[in-house]
Structure formats: C-alpha cells, structure tokens
Structure 1
Amino acid sequence: MKYNKYGNKKVEIDGIKFDSRKEANRYAELKLLERCRDITDLELQPRFLLQDKFKHNGKAIRKVEYVADFMYKRDGEIYVEDVKGMKTDVYSLKKKLFLKKYSEYIFKEI
C-alpha cells in the first residue's frame, strides 16, 4: 500500500484509486446512495475554473482550477464535496474562491 505526503494510504475501489481511506469510504457511501436513488449523477474529480490563463509582461500565467472530490445531485440541488484530513493554505484559498464564484452549489467538507 502506498502512502502520500500526508501519511494517507492509497486505496482502490471499483478500479478507482483514492488518495485516502476516508475518501474511498465516502465514495462507497455515495455509490450506495446513488443505488438507492437518494442522489444522482455522481461525478468524481469535477474541475472548476477559478482564474483563466493570461499573459503578464509577455509571460504566460497558467489557469487556476479547483478540483473537488465529488459532485452529485440531490433533491434538485447540486452538491460539491471535498474529503479533507489536512487543510492546506492552498486548499483554503481555492475553497474561498470557489465559494465566491460558484455560490449556486452546495459545498460540503467531509
């Protein structure tokens, strides 16, 4: 079993590799909810553009994206989830930008 830089064990379920046991367990829960039709349209690793790429003084600056762990629909609402053990400064900043730009989604931190 492999470990990442935060000491999490990589786990594989349904042929999908997850960065932590916590994320894999949440995936299993969401799959069960989808089978019971409590949620629909489960998506893994959805990407959200926070800042377009641009040029500054002739130098290309890359786009900034937030990649969540899961997205799904429940009761007509769209939920975006992130499973976190350790909240980095970069994550905290991207979360704030996401919440501002994508306020139509319900954001959950697990």
Structure 2
Amino acid sequence: MERMTAEQLRALQQSETPKEDKRRVRGAQRTTVDGIAFDSKAEADRWCELSLLQRAGKISGLRRQVEIPLEGRDGPIMTDTGKQQRVYRADFVYVDHALGCQVIEDRKGHATDVFNLKKAILAAQGIEVVLT
C-alpha cells in the first residue's frame, strides 16, 4: 500500500469534491441575464416576466433584492453578534396596477424553514410576502 502525506490527501480530496455554495438550495444554479446575476434560473425567468409586465404598464417600480428590516415586539431583531439588524431580502418588489398595491415577492421552488420564519415575522409587522 502506498502512503501519502496529509497535504497530498487534502489536495486529492479538494480535486475530487468541488466546493459548493452552501446558500444554494436544492441544486439551484446561479444564472446571468442581461448582465444581472440571479440565484436561480427560476428567479431569472420571473425577472424577465416582470420586466415584460413593467414595459406593458401592468406594474411599475420593479426592484430586486430589496432589504426589509425585521422588527420584533420589543424592537429590531438583531444578528447573533448584536451589531446588525436582521433583514429579509425580497427577490422582487413592485406596484401592481390591477391590485393597486405594492407586491413583495419571493421566487422559491419550496419554502425553507428560515423563509417561513421570516415570513411570519413580516406578517406580524403587517407585511405580506407572495411566494411564487
């Protein structure tokens, strides 16, 4: 049996198992459309749909990756270090002219536990998130 050093073993393991982005959910692959990077193909496709709706005048004020601060009963919900306020990052925010209101939308294949928790906190703040 041939022996190898710890350094050789690490190099071999790294070459066999590429580093994966831990933020990716269920194999979602980053996609770029018109020079804009999206977390998934589904999110990129929805951006294209919403862009068409905006050009048609059905919606306006289309923005992406909008941060909404999370508030609890006793004030801001802070990160574990206590130095920053936690936020929910909406995939899309726009005004729907047919509904006459602002829409906060998240494009997901499935709702994660973290998403469900943040959605519940936002609901307590009077903010509804639409899952598409």
TM interval, short-chain normalised: 0.7 to 0.9
With over 3 angstroms needed to count, the CA separation of the structure-2 counterparts of 1:14 and 1:93, relative to structure 1, is: same
Give 5+ residue unaligned stretches, structure 1: none
With over 3 angstroms needed to count, the CA separation of the structure-2 counterparts of 1:87 and 1:107, relative to structure 1, is: closer
Partner of 2:92: 70
**Highest CA radius of gyration, 1 or 2?**
2
Of 60, 65, 75, which aligns to 1:40? 60
* RCO comparison, higher one (Cα < 8 Å, 6+): 1
Partners of 2:29 and 2:82 in 1: CA distance:
36
Q: What is the percent sequence identity of the aligned residues?
A: 34
CA RMSD in angstroms, aligned pairs only: 2.3
SS across alignment from 1:46: strand
SS across alignment from 1:44: strand
Higher strand fraction: Structure 1 or Structure 2? 1
Partner of 1:93: 117
Of 93, 104, 108, which aligns to 1:80? 104
SS across alignment from 1:42: strand
Matched, 1:22 2:54: no
Q: Flag as ranges the 4+ runs of structure 1 deviating above 6 A.
A: none
Deviations 1:58-102 (A, max 9, x none): x63531111110000012300000001132211110011112213
Give 5+ residue unaligned stretches, structure 2: 1-19
Kept in 1: contact 2:66–2:90 (CA 8 A): yes
